[in-house]
Chain A
Amino acid sequence: MEKTWNNKAWFMVLPVLLLVAFSAVIPLMTVVNYSVQDTFGNNEFFWAGTEWFSELLGSDRFYDALWRNLAFSLIILAIEVPLGIVIALSMPKTGWGVPLCLVTMALPLLIPWNVVGTIWQIFGRSDIGLLGRALTDLGIDYNYTRDPFAAWATVIVMDVWHWTSLVVLLCYAGLVSIPEAYYQAARIDGASRWAVFRYLQLPKMHRVLLIAVLLRFMDSFMIYTEPFVVTGGGPGNSTTFLSIDLVKMAIGQFDLGPAAAMSIVYFLIVLLLSWVFYTVMTNYGEGER
């Protein structure tokens, strides 16, 4: 759509600007302020320069949390994206199955995140949970509070349970936009099922898939509540992701300086990712239209 150049449009954006500035810019400035100062209590602050940043970037704790978080994000993407595509491809296109699938699949997306954690905490317990009990009865030693592998498996399966539907719904939205005539053309050309997927459905899903991957990557990169409720970051530090580590530092130990420095580094990473997301969202969309 052709847009007119009109700087008065700023007045319409102003309320949003003020509100978000209040809830984003002022807090961020506080963080910047703390990240370069040291305190010994009593609200007395001393200039610390880049001390906290060099401490953070030289500490294993930060890198451990970062790699753990990256590994988590990549694992859930590797599971959720192919699974989401397969489910979206096999979903019904017409009839009573469509609303049924859409509603039941979207349900986990609307559950409060700590309740998702609670559900899986209960579900996985070997004394009262269905999953934990079943695994124990099968002779598998499964205890997510003791065994790091079980904790990781639980957190990953929980995320797959929680968010695969997002990939499914997005892919499905891409699939139903393919006109029936395309399939007829493919049929006349004698295209195999794989060829239909590879040369017709996948290119049509390309854009929504990209959005799904980016959204899942970013949201899993700031995951906090669900693993916190289930494992509390443990056993040991094995499921301590970036956000959990940051909250531990900022609110648990009240280490303002290091926590602020970590917030800024964390935020810069997110900013970079947002930029990739934005470029994809806007430029790719223009090419399609």
Chain B
Amino acid sequence: MSDVTSTIAVPTRRARASVAGNSRGSARFAPLIPATYILFLMLPIYWLVNMSFKTNEEIQSRFTLWPENFTFRNYEVIFTDPSWYNGYINSIIYVALNTGISVAVALPAAYAFSRYRFLGDKHLFFWLLTNRMAPPAVFALPFFQLYSAFGLIDTHIAVALAHCLFNVPLAVWILEGFMSGVPKEIDETAYIDGYSFPRFFVKIFMPLIASGIGVACFFCFMFSWVELLIARTLTTTAAKPISAIMTRTVSASGMDWGVLAAAGVLTIIPGALVIWFVRNYIAKGFALGRV
């Protein structure tokens, strides 16, 4: 009897020791990998922030790891020159319009896809996806002609509608992912209790998928905010986004590197501010609600 237990126990104990030793060994070095990676991610951002607080003279003549003549001048230029700060306002207007439109039309559609089967549903779902995957370069020229025909060039709504091309499918896919996690019995119970569909949807269903709506809004906001090609093609002056304005920092005295860096830093801030709230859903959002 004792023989049997010892033959069983010995390899187990050895195995446990070896695995524990292994994991202890790798545990010591494991934090190094993410730390190195984060360092790699932060270096270029650090350099941009560093540059934004330098004078152009210092940027071009000396190589300093920390601004010697710490200055807010670059930020002052952006906040006092209307052609700069209007870029931010324009961007925010069309991004907000786009987010509103995208999520509003995506909500009922996502509900339909998650709850019902109907004629051509799978084809439609696939067709939506192809628009998320469509290269903006293919659409830049036809968009320009389409919105010219309607006299909408250089308006915020034109950019907002054009960005619906990839944001509506994204919102539908993300919301469908979240809605499918809500049991169908909840809908049925609400109908039995005498709720009409609109009242059920707004009063009961939307609070249940509030986090999903938040994530969909965030991703619409984000993809509209980071896109340049279509936004630049559809605008000339009145609705020009900040990202397009950034391409014209070349002045008579050469590149205005400091202002360019400051403008770049200011475009990172909105994303950095809201990232905390969606940190647990980022993977799900990027994978179109499918993780």
Enumerate chain A interface residues (CB-CB to B < 8 A): 1-10, 12-13, 15-17, 19-20, 22-24, 26-28, 30-31, 86-87, 90-92, 97, 99, 101-115, 118-120, 122-123, 127-131, 133, 161, 164-166, 168-170, 172-174, 186-193, 208, 211-212, 215, 218, 221-222, 224-225, 229, 242-244, 246-247, 250-251, 256, 259, 263, 266-267, 270-271, 273-275, 277-278, 281-282, 285
- Cα distance A239–B12 when bound, in Å? 56
Cβ-defined partner of A247 (8 Å) among B32, B129, B140, B143 = B140
A243 close to B267 (CB less than 8 A): no
> When chains A and B are docked, how far (Å) is the Cα of A182 from the Cα of B83?
59
* Chain A interface mostly: helix
Residues of A within 8 A of B144 (CB): 251
Which residue, of B34, B113, B164, has the highest number of chain A Cβ atoms within 10 A? B34
* Alpha-carbon distance A192/B21, docked complex (angstroms): 11
A91 to B220, CA, bound (A): 28
Which B residues are in CB contact (< 8 Å) with A187?
Answer: 15-16, 19-20
Contacts of B122 in A (CB 8 A): 282
Chain A, residue nearest B41 (CB): A108
CB–CB A111/B267 < 8 A: yes
Q: A161-B41, A187-B16, A278-B129 are in contact. Are A246 and B47 (CB under 8 A)?
A: no
Q: Are A118 and B129 also in contact (CB < 8 A) when A4-B117, A13-B109 are? A: no
Category for how many chain B residues contact A: 35 or more
Cβ 8 A contact of B33, one of A87, A123, A173, A211: A87
Q: How far is the CA of A4 from the CA of B26 in the complex (A)?
A: 51
Which one of B48, B51, B138 contacts A263 once the chains associate, using CB atoms below 8 Å? B138
Q: Is the CB of A110 within 8 A of B272?
A: yes
Q: Which of B71-79, B206-214, B278-286 contacts A (4 or more CB under 8 A)?
A: B278-286
A-B contact pairs, 19 of them (CB 8 A): A13-B113, A16-B128, A20-B169, A27-B139, A103-B276, A107-B41, A107-B45, A107-B271, A107-B275, A128-B51, A129-B47, A173-B283, A173-B284, A208-B283, A243-B229, A267-B134, A274-B130, A278-B129, A282-B122
